[in-house]
Amino acid sequence: MRIQPDPFFPNFTDHGGLFPNGFWAIFTTMILVNFSFQGTELVGVAAGESREPEKTVPVALRNTVWRILIFFILAIFVLAG
């Protein structure tokens, strides 16, 4: 039985080190995360600009869920079929 005193450190040094594919993979991930967060921030901005946000924001969120189901999920079924 091998005892390893530092179980987390080899993850940073084995298989090419901390960035085995270079910094480009980290940069690409940061861009995708920024675009994803921008979508959630837009809901808050739209709520701040609406006249009655307590009524319009829930309706807009429900419509967004239905649009995601229609445009993306059904498109996957069409492309897979």
Query: Of 34, 32, 63, 66, nearest to 46 (Cα)?
Result: 63
Query: CA 52 to CA 3: how far, in whole Å?
Result: 62
Q: Is the dihedral of CA 36, 37, 38, 40 positive or negative?
A: positive
Question: Do 57 and 47 contact (CB within 8 A), yes or no?
Answer: yes
* Spans of the chain below 50 pLDDT: none
Predicted local confidence at residue 11, as pLDDT: 67
Question: Do 25 and 19 contact (CB within 8 A), yes or no?
Answer: yes
